[in-house]
Chain A
Amino acid sequence: MIELLPAIGVATLLAAAAGLLLGFAASRLVPREDALVDRINALLPQTQCGQCRYPGCRPYAEAIARGVADTNQCPPGGEETARSLAELLGREPKAVDPLYGAADKPRAIAWIDEEICIGCTLCIEACPVDAIAGAPKFMHTIIANECTGCELCLPPCPVDCIEMRAVTDTGVSRRPRSRLAA
């Protein structure tokens, strides 16, 4: 029995040391939650459409970081975003839940029929990225370059003059960077 005492003592000491170390790490070396939120947010498409049931991409990122939301709630990001989110968090990758919307739709942006628009500014208030220009009683128009295609401007419009139009071509010529000079 007596010969066991040093072993028990050493084990206790080791456990205490490890415990102290872990305790210190847990209190002092917490990963900044902001940093994680930023990293998650960077993977999101920034459509700000709210299909994930959060008011924007950053709130969704915060919810994921808190462990409240799952990684498969972003239809505009599609499977690729779901996969990279799961990868970042070390979770099992899941397919996008159709409950939130159809994934991987072709990119579309809003278009205002300027003949019908009455200038009510409701869509301007709804746009999460300030991509609609206009003023009360004046015609509104979409800033095509900034529109994320979130569709949030559709429901508030009292005259249904906004429609989504597919972006067929980005207009960038795919020229190789360097070519033969022969």
Chain B
Amino acid sequence: MATPAARGLALPGFKMLAATPPMRTAPPPAVAVLPLNQHTGAPAIPCIHVGERVLLGQCVARAAEGVSASVHAPVAGKVTAIEDRPAPHVGGAPTLSIVIDNDGSDECANALIEPGTALQLAPEVLRERIQAAGIVGLGGAVFPTGIKLTRGPRQRIEELLINAAECEPYISCDEAALRERAADLVRGVAVVLHALTAERCTIALEADKTRAIAALQQALAAAADARIGIRIVPPIYPSGAERQLITLLYGREVPADGVPTDIGIVCQNVGTVLAIADLDTNGLPLIERIVTVTGHGVRQPANVVVRLGTRIGDLIEFCGGYTADAARLIMGGSMMGIALPHDDLPVVKATNCLLVASDQDLRPRSPEMPCIRCGECATVCPAGLLPQQLHWAARERDLDGLTRLGLEDCIECGCCDYVCPSQIPLATRFRSAKGMLCERSETRERAERAGHRYDVRAQRLEAAAAAREQRLKEKRRSARRPADADPDPGPDR
């Protein structure tokens, strides 16, 4: 089968804004705010009390059952509150957070694993430690890595795919990491391969990241690990989407209702592998990450190593503060990021980029015009959907039609939006249409349960009525029987 051509857009890049200067390290925050739902799945459960002193790297909230991840203290100090705080996520609802006052000592908790011994651990122990370290997919999806790696061995994992195709126009945290920490990445790959008991690894990155490619090649030559190879992909947005990247590289599609492990591939982000390498180096859990602070609205764009829980406003301040024409604060990239209402929010595990957009960065948006059925959207859709048809179905609230047209496969990349000559906010529509679908399936589920409960209750009542009837009958019979049995009426009669 021929590899399908990558569908998507060649977007103007603004990566050099933050990618040009060297990586910096932000000072630890004076107060760290740690939301407990920084990952996909159930929120973590606090395992410390207010007033308790915690050490750097100590687990402060344990992963809940099922899909979940632990949260660790990024600073040493006293826990001052466990309360609802605003958090940077879709919807922006306040979430339960742990607040820690930094005492500046950076006193470390016990290492999760003996430094440098990851490769000597049994794979299942290593996977369990990775899960305990609260490591999640740092590309933005924040799915618990330990679970992703554990799912594998039941199926056969042939290949580890390191996704370094960072296609969002502004984000460069993975590129910066590759340039400066390529050797660590190669070491991390060895650890992940060990955890997966897989034999092959491909690192995929885009052709235009020449410095990162050079650094990586050098590190690979130094490590002389024959299991690891590099694949170059065209710099087309959104080739970094997991499913799209796999189709592009292997010519195979991940089933719509499945995951990459179903076809023997585990996909990991560069930052995630580096976090695993750090776990091996110093035994520390996930307490910091690289954030791209960029856009024309910030004075000194850069990639910054930040402790989790740092206030976003402080991080922007560290990068020189806002320029006069800063217009909007976006977490994530310009295509898929979410707008933040203000900067008094903590950096979380999902914060790969903070884009401070100026008017220069924002596309002027004219009012929405009717669809002219030009079909441009269908030619760019990387998921191979028909956005135009979806648009009609969404307008008609035709939920069955939406399902039939494959709305569930929409990755909300926004390519259709970008090319639409009528400026229809398609991706936004699709997102709310997904909400409608979700709501309908919830309603149906509820109805099914209620129907079942009603039927069970009806059966129970019927059985109770029948039992009562039976009892009454028996009582009547036993009341009659003594009279029948006694032929001689009493003297009173």
Contact = CB atoms under 8 A, between A and B. Distances in A.
Given A56-B454, A58-B455, A182 B240 contact: yes
B447 A44 contact: yes
B450 A181 contact: no
A45 B447 CA distance: 5
A137 interface: no
A27 interface: no
24 contacts: A44-B447, A45-B443, A46-B446, A46-B449, A46-B451, A129-B454, A170-B439, A174-B438, A176-B411, A176-B412, A178-B141, A178-B241, A179-B140, A179-B141, A179-B336, A179-B411, A179-B412, A180-B168, A180-B241, A181-B242, A181-B245, A181-B269, A182-B166, A182-B167
B267 A181 contact: yes
B286 interface: no
Contact of A180 (B238, B431, B438): B238
A79 B5 CA distance: 45
B333 interface: yes
Interface string B152-169: 000000000001011110
A130 B59 CA distance: 41
B146 interface: no
B47 to A, nearest CB: 23
B330 to A, nearest CB: 14
Given A180-B336, A182-B139, A182-B167, A146 B450 contact: yes
B90 A182 contact: no
- A46, A57, A172, most chain B CB atoms within 10 A: A46
Contacts of A173: 89-91
A58 B459 CA distance: 13
A174 B93 CA distance: 12
> Per DSSP, are chain A's interface residues mostly helix, strand or loop, or mixed?
loop
B139 A181 contact: yes
A88 to B, nearest CB: 14
Contact of A48 (B168, B267, B439, B450): B450
A26 to B, nearest CB: 31
The interface centre, meaning the residue of A130, A172, A178 with most chain B CB atoms within 10 A of its CB, is: A178
Contact of B243 (A148, A175, A178): A178
A41 interface: yes
Interface of A: 41, 44-48, 56-58, 128-131, 146, 148, 170, 172-182
Interface string B405-420: 0001011110000000
Nearest to B89: A173
B434 interface: yes
A41 B452 CA distance: 11
Contact of B241 (A128, A175, A182): A182
B40 A182 contact: no
Given A58-B455, A180-B413, A46 B167 contact: no
B58 to A, nearest CB: 28
Interface residues of B, number: 50
A41 B451 contact: yes
Contacts of B458: 56, 58
Nearest to B411: A178
A123 B238 CA distance: 56
Given A130-B453, A131-B453, A181 B443 contact: no
A145 B411 CA distance: 31
B361 to A, nearest CB: 17
Interface string B442-474: 110011111101111110000000000000000
Given A180-B238, A180-B413, A182-B166, A128 B451 contact: no
B90 A48 contact: no
Contact of B431 (A48, A146, A176): A176
Contact of A181 (B163, B434, B438, B457): B163
B148 to A, nearest CB: 12
Contacts of A148: 446, 450
B144 interface: no
A175 B90 contact: yes
B411 to A, nearest CB: 5
Contact of B238 (A45, A170, A182): A182
A57 B454 contact: yes
Contacts of B116: none
A166 B435 CA distance: 19
B190 interface: no
B221 to A, nearest CB: 27
Contacts of B188: none
Contacts of B448: 46
A182 B333 contact: yes
Contacts of A58: 451, 454-455, 458
Nearest 10 CB-CB pairs, A to B? A182-B240, A181-B139, A46-B450, A46-B447, A46-B451, A129-B453, A182-B166, A182-B167, A179-B141, A174-B435
Q: From B411, B435, B454, name the one whose CB has the most chain A CB atoms within 10 angstroms.
A: B454
Interface string B369-384: 0000000000000000
A173 B90 CA distance: 8
